[in-house]
Structure 1
């Protein structure tokens, strides 16, 4: 029996709920640990007597590590297993985040944040892939997008928590908390999380092992032998690269990479620098993390986007979100001079649209690639995208340090959103042309 047919025929079980919850919290703590450095940035400047320029390497260290982690470590899941790499990744970023709380200078903090980033970069692509491979096809986008909401919710929760914890207990306590909680999650996953059955089938695992896992979804699994929908085999890194740059996938791959890159430019520019900008504008100290948190919290809109992607063209759904993101982001700067309330409303709208689109890209990519290279390709997309986070953080640092006005800053940030819209339209045109060519060939064969 095809593994996907089995998943499609049976209802969503408690066992799949368990996988969903664990993957949700992987995304949650990934978001919290990624964003935490931005929330404590004003206190680092004050306590260590450093300038905003000195802070750029610290803000960028985890993002560079995450890019390398996604590109180098993430694809190892296609060779060693989704669960193995996921546990390793969560363990790395949780322990190094805890150790960051004991850093005594910028160099130590930069090194530890880089190591934290290695784990962060590898964790989320594996979580997306593992969950997607346990989903029924007609609900996959909704379920995976809902799981991915954990990332912006975690980033937002970190902002709200920092607004209370840092003034009372110091910035060190925020790093310690952000590392201790995912370490507990890693211990729980080591006990309860199954390996991907698609990965096991791809690697020739015994049918009894497959049946033992799937019978937790439905007992009828014990009466079946399972196989993948199409013949597949393990591919080397070179073979994976050849596939991703083949004529079938090239345009879609480049569109996804550039889109993810631009999306993270916007997200981390705002998350990492908003608390500092608010302090520069003589606003209440707690307001920066809260507003940044509200921007990140907008990602919960990905649940609706997931439903839309299950029923409509996912490329168009994301293109619409990014088009309106560009408009909202461009209006944020002028809105601050008009009304703080209007500014916060625009920030929430921009966050909802941007993070909804960003959260939808991994599931779009997971559906785009075959099983043998799925984690590799999603990881590479996320890795390339993380360099966008670095670029956004550094670009924002340049604009801030050169005293560029708010209106100009947010006008610049609107450009990547417009590029995202263009990428999705190009990807859709490429797929339509490919499908049309395939249809013409089938018609010729029939004749």
Structure 2
């Protein structure tokens, strides 16, 4: 080939069928998120055993939970900008190594204070891994299937959380609570060399940074082995940015969308953590056994997984902002239904499943939406900082149920109020649609 061909990286990915290399990338991100889910959920499952061994009150355990959430928030804020500077693959490996070692160290804690510090450090790594998995997945996904591929990858978190419960049920009785933390540490450490061997760096990131053109050529050659890319020059529509990446989230064309995403993430995660933390307690307060209340609550996670996959497909076929906006609005209906159906178990199960489908499913979809909204240069920062802002909502949500119980409100009132933030999230998503339409007009 005598003349040099110029290839747009995303256009190239869009034009070809999903390759084995892209499937492996998505699978590895799925595994990272699954281990992330395992470690995030593990502390909740082993808390009763820790409390019994150390003779603690619930008040003593509260900082352990709080430290993990604070670490998740700090990790999202810290590692997003670093991934936009040093690469998604590099930071994913650092995060997996970091939270693996921290979880392993947590197993050897001999005091609450030590466990609090190590849970914060574990959360730090976890908080960086999840949004960077979303970012890398989205950058290797064809645009027409991006939402469903990213949301399916993200279902690893739910699977990992469920495995955390299964592990705790079987491991704690025979080996003690520390063994669960050892598992949570060993799994990511085993994954690190696999990531080093198999996980590609984002081709879009490398081209934007003007780095390693031969590596980009080899990576894209794996997507289309039959094409001759020997003399190809690769491009992306965006330029590299200078300065602190977070400031670019407030560039004129991104500012309004950034604030709307932050509002949606905050409200969505507030409701998710309030419901997942307090549903068993609130439902059992009506006289239902705690075991039965826990089984009903599990339908929230099942609904979230089903919602993530279904909404990902709908987002690829229809206007994604409208899909998410209407889904969040429907979440308010299901949430209110929970409070008025505690006397009817069948209706209650449908209501909890529906709330999980809508609010948890839409939150996973919002991650995919955020990844598509930001340009390559600030994508990891955009997704991570939206997640970090959402974590502030998760902290308030995990405490909110207690405040509402203390006020003595009835369940219909509590759950009607819990639905209000999902309506706000829905309005934010519908407003995002206007932002995208305005951007499309400017682009043309």
Structure 2-normalised TM-score? Answer: 0.90
Aligned partner (choices 200, 206, 226) of residue 200 of structure 1: 206
Whether 1:227 and 2:234 are equivalent positions in the alignment is: yes
Partner in structure 2 of residue 39 of structure 1 = 45
CA distance in 2, matches of 1:424, 1:58: 34
Partner in structure 2 of residue 182 of structure 1 = 188
Alignment of 1:94-113 (within 5 A): 94-113=100-119
* 1:342-391 Cα shifts (integer Å, max 9, x gaps): 33332222112211101011211111111111111111111111111111
CA distance in 2, matches of 1:183, 1:269: 32
Partner in structure 1 of residue 367 of structure 2 = 362
Relative to 1, partners in 2 of residues 1:193 and 1:431: Cα closer, same or farther, differing over 3 Å? Answer: closer
Cα displacement (A) at 1:141: 1.3
RMSD: 2.5
Alignment of 1:400-415 (within 5 A): 400=405, 405-415=410-420
Partner in structure 1 of residue 335 of structure 2 = 329
Partner in structure 2 of residue 248 of structure 1 = 253
Partner in structure 1 of residue 354 of structure 2 = 349
Aligned partner (choices 84, 87, 107) of residue 78 of structure 1: 84
Partner in structure 2 of residue 419 of structure 1 = 424
Cα displacement (A) at 1:20: 0.9
* 1:164-206 Cα shifts (integer Å, max 9, x gaps): 4445544333333233222222221122111111111122223
CA distance in 2, matches of 1:246, 1:431: 15
- Kept in 1, the 8 Å contact 2:238–2:376? The answer is no
- Kept in 1, the 8 Å contact 2:80–2:382? The answer is no
CA distance in 2, matches of 1:78, 1:20: 19
SS at structure 2 position matched to 1:305:
helix
SS at structure 1 position matched to 2:34:
helix
| Alignment size in residue pairs | 436
SS at structure 1 position matched to 2:419:
helix
The answer for unaligned runs of 5 or more in structure 1 is 443-447
Whether 1:210 and 2:211 are equivalent positions in the alignment is: no
* 1:281-324 Cα shifts (integer Å, max 9, x gaps): 78666556654443223232222212211121111111121111
Relative to 1, partners in 2 of residues 1:358 and 1:289: Cα closer, same or farther, differing over 3 Å? Answer: same
- Kept in 1, the 8 Å contact 2:320–2:369? The answer is yes
Whether 1:315 and 2:283 are equivalent positions in the alignment is: no
Is the deviation greater in 277-286 or in 122-131? Answer: 277-286
Cα displacement (A) at 1:27: 1.4
Cα displacement (A) at 1:157: 3.1
CA distance in 2, matches of 1:318, 1:21: 25
Structure 1-normalised TM-score? Answer: 0.89
CA distance in 2, matches of 1:104, 1:278: 35
CA distance in 2, matches of 1:384, 1:27: 19
